[in-house]
Amino acid sequence: MKNRVWINLLMAILVAGLFLTASCAKKTVVTDATTIEDQEKAKLEADAKAKLEADAKKEAERIAQQKLVDQMANDKAQKEAQVLAAKKRFVNQDIHFEYDSSQLTAMAKTGLKEKAVWLKANPSVIVSIEGHCDERGTTEYNLALGDRRANTVKSYMGNLGVAAYRLKTISYGEEMPIDSGKTESAFRKNRRAHFAIN
Amino acid sequence: MVSFTMNKRYCSWHMVNKIILYTLFYCLGLHLFFLVPLYARDYDYINVTNPFLKKTPVAVTDFKTFNGHAEELNIGKTAIGILKEALDFTGYLKTMNPVAFLSNPAESGIQLGQINFRDWTGIGADLLITGGISEVDGKITLKLRLFDTFNTKLLIGKIYTGPQSQVRKMIHLFCSEISYQLTGKWGIFNSKIAFVSTINGKKEIFSCDFDGHNIKQITSHKSISLSPSWSSDGKWLAYVSYANGKPDLFIKNLEEKRGSIINYKGMNISPDWMPGQKKLAAALSFSGDQEIYLLTLKGEIIKRITKSWGIDVSPDFSPDGKKIVFSSKRSGTPQIYIKDFESDRPIRLTFNGKNNTSPAWSPDGKKIAYVGIEDNNIDIFVMPLDTGTPVQLTMNQGDNEDPSWSPDGSMLAFTTTREGGVSRIFVMNASGSDPRRLLSLKGRQTQPDWSLSKGTEN
């Protein structure tokens, strides 16, 4: 009887051994799993790289876009500056006259043609044509002469196709010189038709 | 010895609240023909516009003080100062230095019988003025007399009464009497001068008395105001102002603070009153051409005066209102033309030079003063209508513009830049002599317009 116990025990050990062997085989599979982890890591890295690349691309696109916007803004600013410059030129470039004359010189006509172009490009603008004189001549005569200069300019602008209602006239005679000097050049500057935007 | 005629009149001055003047004529009965010995051949009166006129010496003596107190003495001295200044302002009288006087009427008597005329003819005084003053409770009484020393005659005797503040006015009323006696005209002493002055960079209209005293600012538009023009009665002033943004005509009754604005399209400038009427001529450009029109006070067009393409501006009526003188560019350069309303035909007056403007018709109707520009020299000329030969009154003394005749025609007020290039108002005798500054004021002064004298108030 005692021998049977031992045999059973031996059997149990054997079975246990068998089980242990089985668990050894399972250990090999675990070794294979380590490779998968590496693969996953690589994939992650690849993903990150792709993302980086995408980001870079996006950034590049954004920059390109920004550049375009900047370019457009720049263009717009430049255009606006041009418009402003044209407007400034319109306002600042006076039409000049000979002494005691309200007739338009060739230069005056050129200047007025440019002004007419601008007025046609800016159809909502209404202007005052101011007639001015140099200080020679009496106050009252110069008021009349300034009136005549403004009227002459208005009618020439009318001939160039600018509607009369957009052109008001006013004479300031010798009351508003831009150069108070007593020289010929001062007198020349003061004999003018000035365009003021209303 | 002297027959007295009492003549009480009320004189209400527009600036003064009900001052009553009692005017007492000592010596009447005859119209006295006062003859200035040297120039008596053709004239009963001094010809104040005679360019060769020698000034008549006048002795102005100390005033007799009736009550003898210090106040009387002081006011008397002030009055004498005003009197001498006024007489010297004329182009035809010259007050004498009292150092030469041989007698003192303030003590020996100021009336006809008390004057020893040889004391005065002996020192060359053609005329003698004596005065007496009394001050009682702030009421001043001035007794003033003018004598012809050669003919030993009393020419004027007047009594003026009023508060101390009116002493200046009383003296000037007496001066008007002197003027009327000597020249047949009421003279300048009751006249005013309107002008333009800059104040804080803006042009406003001002007025002052004939001698530059009593300066008053009339407009406060804070804009550009120009070309003042008095009506004949001195009650209205027309002027140009940009107060509403463009040159319009403003017509103002200075006493009643009412008026109107004439604002046709374009310019509304250079007003001049028709003598004795409430009508004015002005240059308007509503038609696109600068033409002269006759207007009512409200700006209704009575008629168009000029009819020519080109500038027509600066009208000035003849004293009788039958003609008008103006500047026109109809011939290519600005020249002066006269139009007779009856014939309706303009006649060109100026042929010398390329720029003649700003005409002013003399009160006697015989001359036109105007501005001529040649080689950038701006000067004042006078054209006698009978000869048509212009006489230059200013030369090499800066720019000279805006001539305006004194009401007696003895002087011209004008604008000049002779003092440091700054525009000032000067007066000169009609012959161009004795130019002197009228007033001292900050800024620049231009465009004087001398009113007529209100002879009826004298």
DSSP string covering A69-92, please?
HHHHHHHHHHHHHHHHHHHHHHHH
Looking at residue B325, its pLDDT comes to: 98
Q: How many residues does chain A have?
A: 198
pLDDT of B392 above 90: yes
**Is residue B391 helix, strand or coil?**
strand
Contacts of B327 in chain A (CB under 8 A): 138, 140-141
Looking at residue B458, its pLDDT comes to: 34
Question: Cα distance from A158 to chain B (closest Cα, Å)?
Answer: 14
| Domain positions in chain B | 5-183, 192-457
What DSSP designation does B38 have? Answer: G
Q: Any idea which of A94-103, B9-18, B102-111, B248-257 has the lowest mean pLDDT?
A: B9-18
Which of A135, A136, A140 would best serve as a mutation to test chain B binding (most B beta carbons within 10 A)?
Answer: A140
Contacts of A145 in chain B (CB under 8 A): 311
Indicate the fold that domain A96-197 takes in CATH. 60s Ribosomal Protein L30; Chain: A; (3.30.1330)
Looking at residue B303, its pLDDT comes to: 96
pLDDT of A9 above 80: no
Cα torsion B323, B326, B332, B333: sign: positive
CA angle B384–B389–B394, rounded 5-degree value: 80
> Which amino acid appears at position B395 of this protein?
M
Q: How many CB atoms lie within 10 A of CB B296?
A: 15
B227·A140 Cβ contact <8 A: yes
Q: pLDDT per residue over B279-309, tens digit each? A: 999 999 999 999 999 999 999 999 999 999 9
Indicate the fold that domain B192-457 takes in CATH. Neuraminidase (2.120.10)
Looking at residue B93, its pLDDT comes to: 93
Looking at residue A16, its pLDDT comes to: 65
Query: CA nearest B363: which of B49, B31, B22?
Result: B49
Q: Any idea which of A27-36, B231-240, B441-450 has the lowest mean pLDDT?
A: A27-36
CA angle B425–B431–B433, rounded 5-degree value: 60
Which of A133, A147, A168 would best serve as a mutation to test chain B binding (most B beta carbons within 10 A)?
Answer: A147
Whether the complex's predicted ipTM is more than 0.95 is answered with no
> Which amino acid appears at position B287 of this protein?
S
Whether the Cβ atoms of residue B263 and residue B248 lie closer than 8 Å to each other: yes
pLDDT of B17 above 50: no
Looking at residue B353, its pLDDT comes to: 93
Cα–Cα distance, A171 to B250 (Å, whole number): 17
B402·A170 Cβ contact <8 A: no
**Mean pLDDT calculated for residue range B86-95:** 93
Q: pLDDT per residue over B354-365, tens digit each? A: 999 999 999 999
pLDDT of B8 above 80: no
Nearest residue in chain A measured CA to CA from B402: A138
Q: pLDDT per residue over B214-265, tens digit each? A: 999 999 999 999 999 999 999 999 999 999 999 999 999 999 989 999 999 9
Q: How many CB atoms lie within 10 A of CB B327?
A: 30
Q: Calculate what percentage of chain B has a pLDDT beyond 70.
A: 88
Highest-confidence segment of A65-69, B43-47, B367-371? B367-371
The residues on B that touch A, with CB distances below 8 Å, are 203, 224, 226-227, 240, 245-247, 266-267, 269-270, 283, 285, 288, 290, 311-314, 327, 333-334, 354-355, 357-358, 371, 373, 376, 378, 401-402, 421, 446-447
pLDDT of B153 above 60: yes
**Is residue B456 helix, strand or coil?**
helix
Q: For residues B38 and B57, which has the higher predicted lDDT (pLDDT)?
A: B57
**Mean pLDDT calculated for residue range A113-123:** 96
| Domain positions in chain A | 36-92, 96-197
CA angle B404–B432–B47, rounded 5-degree value: 85
Cα–Cα distance, B69 to B140 (Å, whole number): 13
Nearest residue in chain A measured CA to CA from B284: A144
Strand-strand pairing, A95-96 and A127-132: unpaired
Of B245, B247, B354, the CB nearest to A171: B247
Of B246, B373, B446, the CB nearest to A170: B246
Question: Cα distance from A65 to chain B (closest Cα, Å)?
Answer: 52
Any long-range contacts for B303-307 (C-beta under 8 Å, 24+ apart)?
B305/B281, B305/B339, B306/B339, B306/B346
Can you read off the two tokens belonging to residue B244? 């509403």
**Mean pLDDT calculated for residue range A135-151:** 96
Contacts of B337 in chain A (CB under 8 A): none
| CATH class, B5-183 region | alpha beta
pLDDT averaged over every residue in chain B:
89
Looking at residue B40, its pLDDT comes to: 39
Looking at residue B366, its pLDDT comes to: 97
Q: CB within 8 A of B62, min separation 6: which ones?
A: B76, B80, B98, B104, B105, B106, B131
Nearest residue in chain A measured CA to CA from B336: A141
Looking at residue B23, its pLDDT comes to: 41
Instruction: Give residue A100's pLDDT band: very low, low, confident or very high (50, 70, 90).
Output: very high
Contacts of B401 in chain A (CB under 8 A): 138-139
The residues on A that touch B, with CB distances below 8 Å, are 100, 136-141, 143-145, 147-148, 151, 169-172, 175, 182
Looking at residue A5, its pLDDT comes to: 76
Looking at residue A43, its pLDDT comes to: 87
Question: Cα distance from A164 to chain B (closest Cα, Å)?
Answer: 13
pLDDT of B7 above 80: no
Q: Any idea which of A132-136, B14-18, B219-223, B330-334 has the lowest mean pLDDT?
A: B14-18
Looking at residue B18, its pLDDT comes to: 36
pTM: 0.82
E strand segments, B107-171: 127-136, 139-148, 153-163
Q: pLDDT per residue over B164-184, tens digit each? A: 999 999 999 999 999 999 988
Query: CA nearest B204: which of B237, B232, B228?
Result: B228
A140·B270 Cβ contact <8 A: yes
**Mean pLDDT calculated for residue range A62-76:** 90
Looking at residue B27, its pLDDT comes to: 37
If residue B174 lies in a helix (H) or strand (E), which one and from where to where? Answer: helix B167-183
A144·B269 Cβ contact <8 A: yes
Instruction: Give residue A17's pLDDT band: very low, low, confident or very high (50, 70, 90).
Output: low
Can you read off the two tokens belonging to residue B422? 């700054």
Q: Which residues of A65-97 are buried (b: 16+ CB within 10 A; e: fewer)?
A: eeeeeeeeeeeeeeeeeeeeeeeeebeeebbbb
Order the strands of the B346-348 sheet from edge to edge: B312-317, B323-328, B335-340, B346-348
Q: Tell me the CA end-to-end span of chain B in Å, nearest whole number.
A: 27
pLDDT of B318 above 70: yes
pLDDT of A189 above 50: yes
Looking at residue B185, its pLDDT comes to: 87
Looking at residue B24, its pLDDT comes to: 39
Contacts of A182 in chain B (CB under 8 A): 421
Which of A102, A128, A138, A148 would best serve as a mutation to test chain B binding (most B beta carbons within 10 A)?
Answer: A138
B313·A100 Cβ contact <8 A: no
Looking at residue B163, its pLDDT comes to: 96
Total CB pairs under 8 A between chain A and B: 79
Question: Cα distance from A113 to chain B (closest Cα, Å)?
Answer: 22
Nearest residue in chain A measured CA to CA from B403: A138
B266·A169 Cβ contact <8 A: yes
Nearest residue in chain B measured CA to CA from A184: B376
Cα–Cα distance, B454 to B434 (Å, whole number): 25
> Which amino acid appears at position B25 of this protein?
F
Contacts of B309 in chain A (CB under 8 A): none
Looking at residue B47, its pLDDT comes to: 75
Instruction: Give residue B129's pLDDT band: very low, low, confident or very high (50, 70, 90).
Output: very high
B288·A151 Cβ contact <8 A: yes
